[in-house]
Structure 1
Amino acid sequence: MDVLSDAIATMRTGRPHSSRRDKHAPWGMRFESSDGAGFHVVLQGSAWLLPAEGNPVALGPGDVAFLAHGRGHALASGVDVPLEEVRLGPDGRWPEPPPRPGPLTDTSTVLLCGAYQLDRARAHPLLSELPEVVHLPARVGAHRSLRAAVELLGMELEEPQPGSDTIVTSLLDTLLLYILRAWWQRERHGSGHPTGWSAALADPAVAAALRAIHGDPTHPWTVEELGARGGLSRAAFARRFTALVGEPPLTYLTWWRMTTAGRLLRTDDIPLRQVAQRTGYTSEFAFAKAFKREYGVAPGQYRRRAS
């Protein structure tokens, strides 16, 4: 199983939304904090990203900026221009763009912006360790899949056709994965000394164990079994896994089982017995006890709250 895809699928809620914006200087947009994540792509021209903390980031044609933590930020033609508040709808939908003030010129800025809704109650550590701003500058030959997805999304938003709603949603999900993949690949190969989850996914033994856990969370995994997946002894594997992932193997296994259970209770109307079975518990009572210890409420109560 793909650990990155699993992490995104577990946190994602609702539908992602996006919008194309054509701007003529001076312009500025302020985005309030939210539970979601967002991205900005400069298709033409330039812009300044003004994060809640840290220095302004200059964005040029083809640059991608991803903000994983939902903190307020601004996007503007300059660092000192007035900012107009942009408020997303309750479902994360973007407001309709204002009418284009005139034909695009060489000095116009064309932006592609998007928003994802996330359940931060069970944020996967793989996403939690991302910096305030993930900036992926445009470089010849770099991130070709990401550039292709951006181009397709821009075309669908510029000239909607029958089926565009479904295509745009699929492209936004694809774009998110390409952004994260590009970031971790850059971290892995950039400094030569990846850390955190970038290092965990790059480590053959730890990555093999993570794939095993995500591929079959119902299996009664032992540390010895997981270590054998990567050709390590029990003790050596436990030390390496804990150092890179931040917690022992079986602690992560339990966390992932409970995270999966929470998603099943929110999205699937299946009996608790089946939820227990799909998360590695042969007894509904044992599952309910473990779930309440993790979430503070019984599974049935959690499901009613989420509905």
Structure 2
Amino acid sequence: MSQALEDLLDLLDLEQIEEDIFRGRSRSAVVPRVFGGQVAAQALVAAGRTVPADRPPHSLHAYFLRTGDPGAPIVYTVDRLRDGRSFTTRRVVAVQHGKPVFGLSASFQAYEEGLDHQAPMPPAPDPATLPTSEDRLRGYPHLDPGVVERFVEARAAVDLRYVDDPPFGRYGTPREPHSQVWFRTNGKLADDPLLHIALATYVSDMTLLDSVLLAHGRGGWAVGDVVGASLDHAMWFHRPFRADEWLLYDQESPSAYGGRGLGQARIHTRDGRLAITVIQEGVVRVPRDRAEGGGPV
């Protein structure tokens, strides 16, 4: 296990300070605010700590309410909404400096047999044939070295491999609003379904809005032609998976309008099982001095 993954797992091991109240810390992010995937994963762990281990999450719905302060602890309060025979529902509010910064609702289910069908896995190259995220990032001479180092540090716990150039790697010309990445943790994990789901939740916020930028030839905050932030996030966990084994994150954007962009995605295991569906909307704004055209100005 890499040191970065050990550090991330330590962040997800929340401190319980009272019944149904937990406290978490933050780690370095690409931008000077709490990474949305981190707070979502921590909130899900807080909810899961109040649910029997044989009921993993099957869905979550969340809103990012305020910018998180990476220098301050986050307190997670869990509300036990329902404990049914098959389903358990929890609501979590994350608070910093006396104000809510994030809200999550999650539903958990005991395993049961049922109907079974799925969308097929899209074609994608073998992850072993693709450069690592670090190698790809260091291969873009137009990126500021400081930006590259922040990306590398923030993603060190995850082996994330782009199938094609990310928005900031080749920008200025609109492309199809579709992107793919393979990912897995940089090390093996314990056999805890909640942990694997929390880590997939963490990674799911890294690249989902890339397809919005691709459609307009924008490079994103890394090159300064777009500013943005996550607004809401929803995930459905369909089938068991391991976050320490390769997962294909197939992402697309059906719409951008009114300063917002929508991303939707499916996550498949390497052997083709549909594991997760993800939908996220985010703020996507073009600075006034870069409103005309796409790419560098």
User: TM-score scaled to structure 2, two decimals?
Assistant: 0.28
User: TM-score scaled to structure 1, two decimals?
Assistant: 0.28
Q: If each structure's strand is expressed as a fraction of its own residues, which one has the higher value?
A: 2
Structure showing greater Rg:
1
